[in-house]
Amino acid sequence: MPSNLVVIGINHDSASVAVRERVAFAPECVPEAISELMAETRLSEGVILSTCNRTEIYGWFGTEGEAALAGDEVITWLSKYHAITLEDLATCTYRSHGIAGLTHLVRVAAGLNSMVLGEPQIFGQIKSAFAVSQESGGIGDSLSKLFPEAFRLAKRVRTDTAIGENPVSVAYAAVDLAGRIFSDLSNRTALLLGAGETIELVARHLNEAGLGKLIVANRTLKRAEMLADQFGAEAILLADVTDRLPSADIVISSTASQLPILGKGAVEEAIKARRYRPALLIDLAVPRDIEPQVASLSDVYLYTVDDLRDVVEENVRLRSHEANKADKIVEEGVIEVESTWLQRASADVVRNYRESAMAIQQAELERAIKALESGKSPEEVITRLSRDLTNKLIHAPTTGLKQIAKEGDRVNVSRAAELLGVPASIPSDGSSTLQ
């Protein structure tokens, strides 16, 4: 049942970028982190999603009714792993479980919980996080069924609504901001730091906006060249960024670096070389690629992902109608998933019950055959067979009914009686005539 799903998260709505970067997971650390998560908590399966706007842990625990304990353990582990106090986490974490947790997962995958409503890349990021967890041994029978259901519903949202039309993302918001500051991009040069999916989207939007010149910098030149070739851009190494910084009117950064790439000193020298012509720097990374102190420099406009809220506000308003339609799809889809899981669970119960009954039948039949072979009369053997078979088949249901009646649960006694096809005699005082 989805009731064993627990979700613990921190996102752009619950915490500032300064807090989010403290709990972000470097991609290369995720496999080991998943192993530690399951070793130190009661989770048997887990997925870690870490992006510039959110860090979320999706976990599966074994026993129903332990959602609160599982959530507490995950938060404690998160505190220990990132060396951040429980008090600091308590003010910015959110949690959900069961159907609410599944609903949250679908909304995240569909881009309905993003800073930029309907942004598409989160879907690929969740699929990637799921794949990493699979490779790391973090996915078992339950999440291997649940996540594909969430992906299916997220795709349905994007195909059945206009939430994904005219793609809007953090990358789009960054380019939109650049267009507002520099009204004409055709005579401007942009320097992009990184070559991942976000930077690729930035490059595409800049190209569509008619940017004059584009430079792509990355740790590996080959990856930078692969991206640059798509847009007729120049490729350089990150190590050479300071040399090219003076020529850049716009710098947009999104790398996986754990330390800042651009410091105040380097930017200050670049501004001097530019003869104090203004420069726009947009840091889309968490942890940040550009030191916050850069914002204190004259003729430098520094924005982080948090600063893009105002830029995307209008897009959010325009998409609100489609979001309402999407929420309805999610609500109906989650109910369908719950129903499917209930049907699977009931089918498992029926199969297990039948297998148990058949095992009892086989054992009693073998005992009866041996009795006949030993010379006992057929009448005696058949009488004992029917008595023992009946007693063993009704033993578990009878024991369960007695316990329910003892607890005074009149509703479940009546329900059980219906399932067994027998009348329920329950006095008005709530006691039961079950013996």
Give the residue numbers annotated as catalytic, written as ranges.
52
- Torsion angle in degrees (nearest 10) through CA of 114, 118, 124, 130: 50
Best CA proximity match to 295, nearest among 267, 260, 337: 267
CA distance 91 to 93: 6
Place of tokens 């096809």: 421
CA distance 234 to 223: 12
CA distance 171 to 203: 9
CA distance 113 to 12: 10
199 is written with which tokens?
Answer: 């930077």
Number of CB atoms found within 10 A of residue 28's CB: 8
CA distance 36 to 396: 40
Going from the C-alpha of 241 to that of each of 192, 285, 429, the distances in angstroms are: 10, 17, 82
Place of tokens 């953090």: 170
CA distance 9 to 57: 6
Q: Where are the alpha helices (DSSP H) in 53-142?
A: 67-82, 86-90, 98-109, 121-135
Whether residue 108 contacts residue 56, with contact meaning beta carbons closer than 8 Å, is answered with yes
> Could you say which DSSP state residue 71 is in?
H
- Angle between helix axes 221-230 and 197-208 (nearest 10 degrees) is 30
